[in-house]
Chain A
Amino acid sequence: EPEVTQTPSHQVTQMGQEVILRCVPISNHLYFYWYRQILGQKVEFLVSFYNNEISEKSEIFDDQFSVERPDGSNFTLKIRSTKLEDSAMYFCASKWTSGSDTQYFGPGTRLTVL
């Protein structure tokens, strides 16, 4: 069965460093999302992406964040200068249609900023 994959599963970085989290969505899906979950808190929406551009972003998604779909298969989330408070589990999700549709989640990348 097709699945969303994410790499790495765990990333440890120093404050101020840049990180890139990678996702490979399900191949025929058109809508892509990043969510994050700070330890002990609920999952929060970061950004959605369709047709090679951001379709919606949350207040969390400030200038330090960017997303890209560089080659038609990968979908990346970059954090330019990490802060301690960026430590969280980051989930990528994808779905096929614009309407009500199941979003398929990747296994997550646990980001630890020291």
Chain B
Amino acid sequence: KNEVEQSPQNLTAQEGEFITINCSYSVGISALHWLQQHPGGGIVSLFMLSSGKKKHGRLIATINIQEKHSSLHITASHPRDSAVYICAVGIIQGAQKLVFGQGTRLTINP
């Protein structure tokens, strides 16, 4: 069983739509991270959350620690938001390594 599960795996939407990507995890975590991976492969950190909600521009991330669930929302989506969005959890023990979900490939059509 995967420790971090994301849904959906693929998501195609029209420009302007509200996007939601979900992440569930099954292990004890120190924090949850949302990352963006561009077509060239580079990974950029978007958010780190241990409780509540964070907002940056058109991106909003929420986490429910009791339910072990997080969501990433994109408002007024734009073609430049097309990327793979990855949920990763920081493991509470040891060196705080990240355990990654399989990613959600988002395509926003003009």
Contact = CB atoms under 8 A, between A and B. Distances in A.
Interface residues of A, number: 28
Contacts of A100: 30-31, 48, 50, 90, 96
A50 B97 CA distance: 12
Contacts of A43: 43, 86, 88, 98, 100
Contacts of A65: none
B63 to A, nearest CB: 12
B33 A102 contact: yes
Given A42-B100, A42-B101, A55 B43 contact: no
A103 to B, nearest CB: 6
Interface residues of B, number: 25
A18 interface: no
Most chain B CB within 10 A, of A42, A50, A93, is at A42
Nearest to A45: B97
Interface in B20-77: 30-31, 33, 35, 40-45, 48, 50
A108 B42 CA distance: 6
Nearest to A54: B95
Interface of A: 31, 33, 35, 37, 41-45, 48, 50, 55-56, 89, 91, 93, 95, 98-105, 107-108, 110
Nearest first, the 9 closest Cβ-Cβ pairs linking A and B are: A48-B95, A100-B31, A56-B95, A105-B43, A55-B95, A43-B100, A45-B97, A100-B30, A42-B102
